[in-house]
Amino acid sequence: MDFGHALLFYFFLIGATMVLGVVLLMTLGFKVSALGSELVLYLALPFFLSRILDTGWNNWTRWPKLGLGVWVSLLLILAGLAVLLSNIPIAVDYFYPMSEEYRAFFEQYLRADSAGELIVLLLVAAIVPGICEEVAFRGLIQGGVRYTYGPTIGVIVTSVLFALIHLSVWNFFALLVMGLFLSTIREMTGSIWPGAVAHALNNGAALALITFAPPADNQWQYEFVPLWLNGIAAIVLMMGIIWFMRQMRANKQNEREFETGLAA
């Protein structure tokens, strides 16, 4: 699968998501709409395409052999990144105020009123998208772009397309940076699963924030994260990156030693 196929798949995703999502939303509600769109278009369709095209499915869907240190370092990176990125939509909102319809969407569909509803929302808007969107973007699309233009362009283009498909001016730049993070993880580990875990955790944290820390007077006007917390997040982010790089080097060294031992 090359860049042309990846781009064709992407534009089909945009159109099909809007049509299928709107139809299901109007007939069966938000949760069915979200689940149906994700499972059919972002998971089942890529799997079907992998049966008729050379997409490398078996390579990027394998579970990576990573040590515990790699996973912990990824959690540190995600924690620091999530805090810092939460400032971006607020900054955009200051210069380009968010529409009332967009605010109402979050309040109506992404805020849980009970523990049971929160569990359902975590499944619908965190776990399932974390898996399905990584299959479509970091798997199929990134694989197609990197096949034609190499890994660096693959990371950049996939991240831009990922941010664009969410159709949000306020979240575009935060999604772009998060996409770069997820695409880089996929490139370095060779698997979509670390990114899928990070994606689901990030979405889950956002849902928890909307549920447990609603804005004052329910006006949906968040304030910037305090400077001291941004400072801690920046330190945690740098520590996570340094630790991750060291862990990945150690992981690859262990793999080489294991392969050398088998060859001997």
- d(CA 247, CA 263) in angstroms, rounded, equals 24
- d(CA 161, CA 167) in angstroms, rounded, equals 10
Handedness of CA 26, 30, 36, 37 (dihedral sign): positive
* pLDDT at res. 218: 42
Average pLDDT over residues 201-227: 72
Residue 261, Cβ neighbours under 10 Å: how many? 8
Q: Is 4 exposed, middle or buried (0-12, 13-18, 19+ CB in 10 A)?
A: exposed
Average pLDDT over residues 120-133: 94
Q: Which residue has the tokens 């990027």?
A: 60
pLDDT-derived band at 126, boundaries 50, 70, 90:
very high
Own/partner pairs for 151-155, CB < 8 Å, 24+ apart? Answer: 151/187, 154/183, 154/187, 155/180, 155/183, 155/184, 155/187
* pLDDT at res. 260: 56
Q: Token pair of 116, please?
A: 């049971």
SS3 of 186, please? helix
- d(CA 105, CA 203) in angstroms, rounded, equals 16
How many angstroms separate the most distant Cα atoms in the chain?
Answer: 69
pLDDT tens string 222-244: 567 888 999 999 999 999 999 99
* pLDDT at res. 252: 76
* pLDDT at res. 122: 93
- d(CA 38, CA 69) in angstroms, rounded, equals 31
Q: For residue 171, what is the DSSP state?
A: T
Above 80 in pLDDT, residue 143?
Answer: yes
Query: Which candidate, 248, 241, 232, places its Cα nearest to that of 74?
Result: 241
Mean per-residue pLDDT of the chain: 88
Above 50 in pLDDT, residue 245?
Answer: yes
- Are 166 and 76 in contact by the 8 Å Cβ rule? The answer is no
